């Protein structure tokens, strides 16, 4: 069985976590702060705030920007549901824009059509590790006075015009075990704003400015010390591990090129894709359907993923809320995508097997 994702945990990670355990300080010690400094430096942002998950990072970023009741936030429907759920959790209303055909990211012309007097922010998602064209998003945001919150939960280390995602505005990262680096569960906000950092730190910890003085509404969204220790060790390995993903993706693309009925991942000019997922499209010209392909892959012991089968505006809960948008590109692509394993643990030999099976069934 070749799994679709597998966290790479080595001696360094185990030693770091054991040492955190032995220190006796399991929460609110120095490791979370150390991880924040290292992560901010890696991303090229002035500040970072470590939290308990990627979802908490998005929720906290919205709260820190004072986005809530009566506000609209434009985002993509073709993402993990956490992106839109955090907007609802903050009390604001998600508004969905359609996506671009080949890069799966939010389409600037569709955003423009969705801007209203209530729009406060845009959340672009660097889906699968492919950066969004941030120039187009920044131009729109400046023109309309909007906040940008980057959902970089799948894109640790990806760059647009040589600048790392998460450093263009307020960035949100996840360290869930399937992501490019992990802390078990965990997340991070990155920003250049001292104000946002201060608000985020307060809201993360019950609205305290000093101990037990609750000045604004907050919660517990802190990262524990074991996670931070794990994160520090994983961060050191991230560049090499992203490189391995890129090499695996290039190798697989070379092996799969020329097969009719599938579209291989494309990388936009000026972008460094970090291949959180290697996602192909099974198009109308394919001999077999995506579901048939999935069934065969499963039978052959090849892990795969469908991210994401239902666009958010079509999710049962969102239908109940009254969402009835028609977003043709997102709806079509949700029926065509399938991701294949290229994580750092996948060998050349395994990539060869994947390519062989794909050729057998599609050619």
Ligand X SMILES: *Cc1c(COP(=O)(O)O)cnc(C)c1O
Q: Which residues bind ligand X (CB under 6 A)?
A: 53-55, 79-80, 82-83, 125, 151, 153-154, 174, 176, 187
Minimum gap (Å) between residue 189 Cβ and ligand X: 12
Q: Quote the least distance from Cβ 12 to ligand X, whole Å.
A: 22
Nearest by Cα to 339 from 81, 152, 127? 127
Residue nearest to ligand X (CB): 54
Tokens for 12, please give them.
């360094």
CB of 186 to ligand X, least distance (A): 7
Burial class (CB in 10 A: 0-12, 13-18, 19+), 212: exposed
Distance of closest approach, residue 269 Cβ to ligand X, in angstroms: 23
Q: Are 252 and 353 contacting, i.e. CB atoms less than 8 angstroms apart?
A: no
Handedness of CA 297, 245, 312, 264 (dihedral sign): negative
Give the shortest CB-314-to-ligand X separation in angstroms.
17
- Of 198 and 219, which has the nearer Cβ to ligand X? 219
Cβ of residue 6: shortest distance to ligand X, in angstroms? 16
Tell me the helices (H) and strands (E) count for the chain, helix number first: 12, 13
Residue 134, number of CB atoms within 10 A of its CB? 22
Minimum distance of ligand X from residue 59's CB (angstroms) = 9
CB closer to ligand X out of 171 and 218: 171
**Least separation in angstroms between CB 187 and ligand X:** 5
Of 83 and 248, nearer to ligand X (C-beta) is 83
CB closer to ligand X, 157 vs 187: 187
Nearer to ligand X, 187 or 303 (CB): 187
Which residue, 53 or 191, is less far from ligand X as judged by CB?
Answer: 53
| CB 47, CB 192: distance < 8 Å | yes
In which element (H, E) is residue 332 found?
helix 328-334
Quick one: 53 or 336, whose CB is closer to ligand X? 53
Report the C-alpha gap between 160 and 265 in whole angstroms.
17
Q: CA 186 → CA 20, 148, 234, 354, distances in Å?
A: 16, 22, 13, 32
151 neighbors 19 (Cβ within 8 angstroms): no
* Nearer of residues 176 and 318 to ligand X, judged by Cβ: 176
| Nearest Cα residue to 157 out of 43, 39, 276, 6 | 43
Distance in Å, CB of 53 to ligand X, minimum: 4
Kindly report whether the peptide bond that precedes residue 308 is cis, defined as omega within 30 degrees of 0. Answer: yes
Which CB atom, from 87 or from 340, has the smaller least distance to ligand X? 87
Contacts of 78 (CB under 8 A, 6+ apart): 99, 104, 127, 308, 311, 312, 330, 333, 334
Instruction: Decide: helix, strand or coil at residue 84.
Output: helix
SS3 category, 149: strand
């Amino acid at each position: 069985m070749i799994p679709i994702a597998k966290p790479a945990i080595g001696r360094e990670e185990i030693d770091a976590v054991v040492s955190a355990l032995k220190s006796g300080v399991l929460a609110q010690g120095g490791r979370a702060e150390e991880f924040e400094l290292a992560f901010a430096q890696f991303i090229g942002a002035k500040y970072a705030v470590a939290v308990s998950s990627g979802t908490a990072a998005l929720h906290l970023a919205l709260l820190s920007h004072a986005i809530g009741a009566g506000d609209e936030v434009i985002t993509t429907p073709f993402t993990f549901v956490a992106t839109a759920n955090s907007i609802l959790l903050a009390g604001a209303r998600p508004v969905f824009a359609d996506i671009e055909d080949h890069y799966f990211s939010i389409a600037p012309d569709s955003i423009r059509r969705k801007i209203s007097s209530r729009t406060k922010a845009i959340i672009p998602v660097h889906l699968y590790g492919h950066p969004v064209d941030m120039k187009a998003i920044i131009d729109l945001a400046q023109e309309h006075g909007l906040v940008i919150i980057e959902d970089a939960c799948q894109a640790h280390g990806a760059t647009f015009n040589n600048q790392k995602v998460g450093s263009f505005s307020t960035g949100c990262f996840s360290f869930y075990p399937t992501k490019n680096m992990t802390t078990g569960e965990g997340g991070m906000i990155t920003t250049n704003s001292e104000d946002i950092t201060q608000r985020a730190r307060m809201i993360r910890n019950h609205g305290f400015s000093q101990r037990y003085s609750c000045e604004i509404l907050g919660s517990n969204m802190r990262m524990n010390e074991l996670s931070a220790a794990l994160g520090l060790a994983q961060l050191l390995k991230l560049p090499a591990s992203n490189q391995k993903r890129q090499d695996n993706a290039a190798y697989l693309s070379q092996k799969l090129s020329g097969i009719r009925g599938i579209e291989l991942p494309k990388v936009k000019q000026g972008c460094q894709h970090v291949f959180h997922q290697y996602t192909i499209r099974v198009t109308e010209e394919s001999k077999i359907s995506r579901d048939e392909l999935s069934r065969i892959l499963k039978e052959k012991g090849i892990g795969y993923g469908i991210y994401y089968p239902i666009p958010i505006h079509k999710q049962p809960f969102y239908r109940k809320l009254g969402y009835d948008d028609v977003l043709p590109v997102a709806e079509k692509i949700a029926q065509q995508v399938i991701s294949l394993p290229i994580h750092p643990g996948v060998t050349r030999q395994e990539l060869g097997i994947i390519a062989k099976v794909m050729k057998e069934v599609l050619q």
